[in-house]
Structure 1
Amino acid sequence: MIRFGVIGTNWITERFLESVKELEDFTLTAVYSRTEEKAREFANKYNVDTIYTDYEEMAKSEVIDAVYIASPNFLHSEQSIVFMNHGKHVLCEKPLASNVAETKAMFEAAKQNQVTLMEAMRTTLMPNFKIIMDNLHKIGKVRRYFASYCKYSSRYDAYREGTVLNAFNPKLSNGSLMDLGIYCVYPMVVLFGEPKDIKATGVLLETGADGSGSIVAQYDEMDAVIMYSKINDSYLPSEIQGEDGSIVISENISSPDDIEIRYKDGTVEKISQPYAKLEMYYEADEFVRLIKEGKTMSDMNSFENSLITAKIIEAARKQIGVIYPADEK
């Protein structure tokens, strides 16, 4: 049984805890929040006795073996390293860190302390993503990867009325690329590796955060086109286009659940399967397995894949003009 603490008492942590109810080797033993009232309120929902308002004290705790970190992006690296330096395993929400330098520092801490660190990118650990990988050969030589994740944010309504919430605050290392675009970038990296070059454009908001953007990535024999946004919707599917057919992901690429191959002769093969578990179950299951097997990293959400993703995102941000305070440290 792996004893977990959680940092972050928001909706994503609640979704994570709902998803792991069926995970036999998971138990929640501690909750952190900046205020005692919020920590106690959240802990009571899950019948947890131990709370913390100081995460460094939590890291020293003997009641947890691992931590799930879902704090604002700019805190991910600092908090993760503190926990790893105290021998705790870390499952950190995507994006793993603000930039490449922070990402590398996290990997170094994991290696030095011989603990498990994994980016909580659920997409690539869901069963239908493995189905995509297993069926990729059917479409012949891949010539283009196209991924779209454009979803109008409810928080943008507040922004338009003059209130800047966390989602559009670059001081927290936030914006549409870090929040939604990463769901398009990470699968590309897992499937095709590091591109030779990228070109990025985007829409900068008055705060300095990116509201939307596009990335074109160049590989030796293919290219990739990525579109993402938090200020407008899109209803386009994502596709992996090959010479003999295309794999079409009709629903959100973040949680692929409706996938078919459309062959050039007009035939269609549905390859997706219904999920037996909630979407975040699979990342938690992978993480627990890694801990029990004494592994530092996942083969799928590996250090290499997370680092390449961080490089692409940082390069794209620089081209768009998105600068975070973390970049200037």
Structure 2
Amino acid sequence: MARIRLATIGTSAIVRTFLQAAADVPEIAVTTAFSRDPQRAVRFAAEAGIPHTSSDLPALLASGDIDAVYVASPNAIHFEQARSALDAGVHVLLEKPATPTAAEFETLVSTAREHSAVVLEAMRSAYDPAIAAVSDLVREVGPVRRASLGMCQRSARYDLVLAGETVNIFDPALAGGALYDLGVYCISAMVQLFGEPDRAVGASAPIATGADGAGAALAAYPEFVVDLSYSKITASDRPNEIQGELGTLTFDSVARPRWAELALLDGSRARHELAGPDNNMVFEVRRFAELVAGDRDASADHARALATLRVVDALRAHDARRL
């Protein structure tokens, strides 16, 4: 079978992490590095060992030289770049969040269907078997009544903001901020563990750029509630917690779980090591390769991504009304 010739769009650190993962997926051949800045494309390609470069996206998409793109540009640019690729019959792997809104991703799903192409959100945790293991352990705690999920990692780029600069990940015009960057991990894990909530409300802590530096949310289900916390301007190593009527399950990370611990009301405790690669992006790359190779039923993948983005929409709308 011919390898999938893929171009990267973007030159940020996440693209380097993607390249490490793609190197472990033999179906993928990264052939081109795209950047709107030609010199940046050349530098990045040389450092990453990518044979070709491009700074003209329409020409690249029409060239016939690639089969797929990995889009890791600023969030606000995802939609137009992905739609252009799909219109050209080029498959698209979109770094999370796939798009800033659910409506935009719905449009991309429809466009992909029209052109017999694949579009997939690169949500690493959704394809990590460790999340499935956590989901299996949830059954042990009995009926769930509340859960607390969080991801708080202070970005080194926040120092640039404090110095008066506006950087992409904290630029609201580019759909930057804590909700889009880290909050989506919490929401995606919640959707994967419990399904889409009936409603969600939230509030954020704005920073000088106008983006949200941190935030909190409450999601309501028929018989339990989930609180979410996320931040790019503070840090926390507090584990996640799922409380049931028979006990509590804690685990370390919504993005890359590596351990989980059950504490039941009968006094028993059990720790589970969730082995996996350091770079769990490999699982999303494998799923993308499967879809491109012929398993074109991405309905479950799209449903999870859309449910996540609908929660994002609800949180942004509620926070805007509050402010």
For each residue in 1:267-313, what CA deviation from the matched residue of structure 2 results, as whole angstroms up to 9, or x when unmatched? 222233221462211110111111112415263xx211111111111
> Secondary structure, in 3 states, of the residue corresponding to 1:269?
strand
Partner of 1:325: none
> Secondary structure, in 3 states, of the residue corresponding to 1:4?
strand
Partner of 2:257: 256
Partner of 2:283: 282
Partner of 1:200: 202
For each residue in 1:123-169, what CA deviation from the matched residue of structure 2 results, as whole angstroms up to 9, or x when unmatched? 12112111112222212111122101111111111111211211211
Using structure 2 for the length normalisation, give the TM-score: 0.94
Q: How many Å apart are 1:255 and its aligned residue?
A: 1.1
For each residue in 1:161-180, what CA deviation from the matched residue of structure 2 results, as whole angstroms up to 9, or x when unmatched? 21121121100011100011
Q: How many Å apart are 1:50 and its aligned residue?
A: 2.2
Check conservation: 1:177, 1:210, Cα contact below 8 A: yes
Check conservation: 1:111, 1:296, Cα contact below 8 A: no
- Counterparts of 1:197-236 in structure 2, within 5 Å, are 197-236=199-238
Partner of 2:139: 137
Superposed CA RMSD in Å reads: 1.6
Check conservation: 1:286, 1:298, Cα contact below 8 A: no
Q: How many Å apart are 1:101 and its aligned residue?
A: 2.2
Tell me how far apart the structure 2 counterparts of residues 138 and 246 of structure 1 sit (CA, whole Å).
Answer: 9
- Counterparts of 1:267-278 in structure 2, within 5 Å, are 267-276=268-277, 278=279
- 1:71 and 2:70 aligned: no
- Counterparts of 1:61-210 in structure 2, within 5 Å, are 61-210=63-212
Counterpart selection for 1:38 from 31, 37, 40: 40
Partner of 1:295: 296
Query: Structure 1 residues 276, 199: closer, same or farther in 2, change over 3 A?
Result: closer
Check conservation: 1:131, 1:272, Cα contact below 8 A: no
AA matched with 2:293: K
Tell me how far apart the structure 1 counterparts of residues 217 and 28 of structure 2 sit (CA, whole Å).
Answer: 38
Query: Structure 1 residues 167, 276: closer, same or farther in 2, change over 3 A?
Result: closer
Partner of 1:246: 248
- 1:320 and 2:314 aligned: no
Query: Structure 1 residues 277, 159: closer, same or farther in 2, change over 3 A?
Result: closer
Tell me how far apart the structure 2 counterparts of residues 229 and 245 of structure 1 sit (CA, whole Å).
Answer: 28
Tell me how far apart the structure 1 counterparts of residues 51 and 208 of structure 2 sit (CA, whole Å).
Answer: 43
For each residue in 1:1-48, what CA deviation from the matched residue of structure 2 results, as whole angstroms up to 9, or x when unmatched? 211111011111011101222211111111101111111122223433
Query: Structure 1 residues 276, 236: closer, same or farther in 2, change over 3 A?
Result: closer
The count of corresponding residues between Structure 1 and Structure 2 is 319
Query: Structure 1 residues 47, 232: closer, same or farther in 2, change over 3 A?
Result: closer
Check conservation: 1:200, 1:316, Cα contact below 8 A: yes
Tell me how far apart the structure 1 counterparts of residues 311 and 158 of structure 2 sit (CA, whole Å).
Answer: 25
Q: Which moved more, 1:109-118 or 1:39-48?
A: 39-48
For each residue in 1:71-126, what CA deviation from the matched residue of structure 2 results, as whole angstroms up to 9, or x when unmatched? 00001111011111111111100011111221221111111112111110001211
Tell me how far apart the structure 1 counterparts of residues 100 and 234 of structure 2 sit (CA, whole Å).
Answer: 24
Question: Which ranges in structure 2 are unaligned for 5 or more consecutive residues?
Answer: none
Tell me how far apart the structure 2 counterparts of residues 207 and 44 of structure 1 sit (CA, whole Å).
Answer: 33
Tell me how far apart the structure 1 counterparts of residues 238 and 205 of structure 2 sit (CA, whole Å).
Answer: 20
Question: Which ranges in structure 1 are unaligned for 5 or more consecutive residues?
Answer: 323-329
Using structure 1 for the length normalisation, give the TM-score: 0.92
